[in-house]
Chains A and B, each alone.
Chain A
Amino acid sequence: QVQLVQSQSEMKKPGASLNISCKASGYSFTTYFIHWVRQAPGQGLEWMGIINPSGGGTSYSQKFQGRVTMTRDTSTNTLYMELTALTSDDTAVYYCARATNSRGYLDYWGQGTLVTVSS
C-alpha cells in the first residue's frame, strides 16, 4: 500500500534550520510528484512547493523562496525539505503529499511532522 512516512517532531531555536524527511513506499517513486504543505496551529493549509522525484526539478512558493530547498534520494525513495532561518512563525505541522503531476490533486499524505520554533 502507498505510504509516506515522515520524520519525527522537532524543536528548533530561532535562526536554526529544519530538515524533514518523507520516505515513500508502495508505488513507483519517480512516477509521482511530491508537494510540501504546512499547517500552523489552529490554521489552514499552506502550500510550500513541489519536487519531481524523477529529475529533481522543483518549484517553490515565492513566500519561501530563498529559505526552502526540496531534494530527493532515489536510492532510498526519500524526499527531504529543508527550511532555514526559522522564526516562531514557522511553528507548524509539515506534510508531504503525493500527486500524479505538478498540477494534480494530493491523493496520499504523510502523517505530518510537528516543528516547534522557540527560544
Chain B
Amino acid sequence: EIVLTQSPGTLSLSPGERATLSCRASQSINSVYVAWYQQKPGQAPRLLIYGASNRATGIPDRMSGSGSGTDFTLTIDKLAPEDFAVYYCQQSGSLPQTFGQGTKVEIK
C-alpha cells in the first residue's frame, strides 16, 4: 500500500498569503494518478487538481499543483476567504487507492 504523508498538518495563514502544501509518497507514483481535493466542514470533498497539475473545471488559477515521483505540492496563491479548508492528496494508480491524512489551512 502506498502511504501518502501530508505536511504540515495545519497551516495558519492570513488571507492574501501563499499556502504551500506537501504530499510525500512512500514509493514513486506516476503523476497521472495524483489528485488534490478540498473539503469544508459538513461537505463532500471537491476535486481541485488531477494528474498532479491539471486544474479541475471551475477551479481558480490561484490554485496550482506540481511534482513528480514521490513529492507533490499544492500551492494556493493569495489565499481567499473561501480557501480555508482541509486539503487531501490522493493516489489512484495502485490498489488500494490511498489518501493523505490532510492539511488544514486555517485563518491566522
* Count of chain A residues near B, Cβ 8 A: 23
Q: Are A47 and B98 in contact, CB atoms less than 8 angstroms apart? A: yes
Q: A110 CA to B90 CA in the complex, in Å?
A: 18
**What 0/1 pattern do residues 27 to 69 of B give for CB contact below 8 A with A?**
0000001010100000011110011000010000000000000
Q: Is the interface of A mostly helix, strand, loop or mixed?
A: strand
How many A-B residue pairs have C-beta atoms within 8 angstroms? Tell me: 54
* Count of chain B residues near A, Cβ 8 A: 22
Q: A110 CA to B45 CA in the complex, in Å?
A: 9
- Given the known inter-chain contacts A44-B102, A47-B96, A59-B95, please indicate yes or no for A107 contacting B56, CB distance below 8 A: yes
Q: A44 CA to B51 CA in the complex, in Å?
A: 21
User: Which chain A residues have a beta carbon within 8 Å of chain B's beta carbons?
Assistant: 35, 37, 44-47, 50, 59, 61-63, 95, 97, 99, 103-107, 109-112
